[in-house]
A = this chain, B = another copy of it.
Amino acid sequence: MPPEGTVGTVSPKFERFDEPIVLQSGARLDAYQLAYETYGTLNSARSNAVLVCHALNASHHVAGVYADDPDNVGWWDNLIGPGKPLDTNRFFVVGVNNIGGCHGSTGPASINPATGSQWGADFPMVTVEDWVEAQSRLATRLGIRRFAAVMGGSLGAMQALQWTISQPQRIGHAIVIAAAPKLSTQNIAFNEVARQAITTDPDFHGGNFYSHGVVPRRGLRIARMIGHITYLSDDAMAEKFGRELREGVYKFNFDVEFQIESYLRYQADKFAERFDANTYLRITKALDYFDPAAAHGGHLSAALKQASAGFLVASFTSDWRFSPARSREIVKALLDNGLDASYAEINAPHGHDAFLMDDPRYHNVIRAYFNNIAL
């Protein structure tokens, strides 16, 4: 096994699509752009492509760094690179920013050609199904008839699952990590609090804050704090911060007292600087809407009838937002259909965020699965 390495310096690429896309909501985008990155080399048979789908807060910048921004390391860099579990010496990896995003693909901050102004509130809702459709068009543009695998964690995993339903002929394997076949009531409820925080922020201006020169910073901060708490396990937070006080004693005021408060405020501030509120709103809605079983009387097995991919499903014991029980629902539906499914339930302390962590047991599962994919 060669030593693990980085994909090094990477650059985003852009593809413009002038064929209209009719979204699940009925809205239509006449044209759109997708930002993406690729790592490794597409082989001559064009059989070694792996699509990596992003979750709520991420983008097409999956691995490597930018020449002009060397601290901005791709969000799954620990997993993807030469000699890494998803080995770019063997696979051609594609990361794509989804429609509605805020990292270069057409989204609420893009110019609406009909008005010449930024879309803002008028940008349509997007769904996991819409993203898969756009991703499949990008694949075609890149000359990829069929992905060796589509992979994601959390909302990214929902896209991998949807690929097996929408594009069963174009996906060899689905790698579905820390997923659920649909959100629980509690999941939706947390998303709704985040949305209410954003939409009631006076700087939201009904979604048209761009023209006011402000961003709904307060709302984004709250949304991010809720995310941080719910993506971590109780134990992981306790381990990392405990009840540690910044100054050793109670101050009896509303400044930072506990270290966890400092962490949350810092993360919230950082996020509010960089993330588009309209994108955040729409991505949480896409999460809420995802429910492939709904069109089949609630039967996930029926929704997966056309699937033919091989599956790796992985979950983490301390993930209380998308618990192992939710992954097992997926596995059961796969087995009901006689599909080839591997399932790993990994004893990890990091909660939902475990899918982003560099855990050898987890990474070995991913590595072994990719090693067994014949090209």
Contact = CB atoms under 8 A, between A and B. Distances in A.
B254 A199 contact: yes
A184 B221 contact: no
A237 interface: yes
A12 interface: no
Query: Does more than half of chain A's interface fall in helix, strand or loop, or is it mixed?
Result: helix
B197 A242 contact: no
Contacts of A190: 229
Nearest to A268: B196
Interface string A285-307: 10011010000000000000000
A181 B163 CA distance: 48
A183 interface: yes
Contact of A252 (B124, B182, B199): B124
A129 B260 CA distance: 24
Contact of A237 (B186, B240, B241, B261): B186
A189 B125 contact: no
Given A192-B261, A202-B202, A252-B25, A243 B197 contact: no
* Copy count, this protein chain: 2
A284 to B, nearest CB: 10
A345 interface: no
A291 B222 contact: no
B260 A188 contact: yes
Given A193-B264, A222-B197, A226-B226, A188 B252 contact: no
Contacts of A258: 185, 188, 192, 288
Determine the interface band of chain A, counting residues with CB < 8 A from chain B.
Answer: 35 or more
Contacts of A228: 189
A234 B230 CA distance: 13
A140 interface: no
A44 interface: no
A317 to B, nearest CB: 15
A287 to B, nearest CB: 12
A265 interface: yes
A221 B242 contact: no
Contacts of A265: 196
Given A229-B189, A242-B185, A260-B189, A222 B234 contact: no
- Nearest first, the 6 closest Cβ-Cβ pairs linking A and B are A25-B252, A185-B237, A125-B252, A200-B218, A186-B234, A193-B225
